[in-house]
Amino acid sequence: TRKESSAVSDVYKRQDTSSFDIVISNPPYISFEEKKDIMKEVRNYEPSNALFADEKGLYFYRKIIENLAKQIKRKQFLFLEVGINQPDGVVKILKNNNFNVVSIKKDISNIPRCIIAERS
């Protein structure tokens, strides 16, 4: 039998993620420049740190991917929810850290929304 585990990881702390085969993340990805365009109900009532990220919204993707790339783990899959206009930037970060993009899935509105990548 295989032991299954899950954990929440904090990108601000050094974490050993080498024991995970699959990492799934929906990080804050809205750029601060886009804040004015967000629906008032979201902007005024959701925690800012759950929505917005530096580096045009790419900060947490870079941190997550770079942290995973430092691990010794031979094979890992990474599932990332991405915002509009972010797939190209996230793909570039993935490729720069030796991940291969397996697939980019679109949401119900036909917008690229999930990137699936692997490192082997």
Give the pLDDT of residue 27.
94
Cβ neighbours of residue 13 closer than 8 Å, sequence gap 6 or more: none
Task: Check: CB of residue 96 under 8 Å from CB of residue 86.
Answer: no
Return the closest-CA partner of residue 25 out of 94, 71, 73, 85: 94
Give the pLDDT of residue 116.
98
In terms of C-beta density within 10 A (0-12 exposed, 13-18 middle, 19 or more buried), how is residue 117 classed?
buried
Strand order in the sheet with 76-81: 22-25, 76-81, 112-119, 100-106
Q: Which tokens sit at 54?
A: 């530096």
C-alpha distances (whole Å) from 36 to each of 10, 32, 39, 71, 93 are: 28, 8, 8, 38, 27
CB atoms within 10 A of CB 97: 17
What is the spatial distance between Cα 63 and Cα 92, in angstroms, rounded to a whole number?
13
Residue linked to tokens 């904090």: 10
pLDDT tens per residue across span 45-97: 888 888 999 999 999 999 999 988 888 767 889 999 999 989 999 999 999 99
pLDDT tens per residue across span 7-58: 455 655 656 666 678 999 999 999 988 888 888 888 888 888 889 999 999 9
Total-model pTM: 0.83
For residue 3, pLDDT beyond 50? no
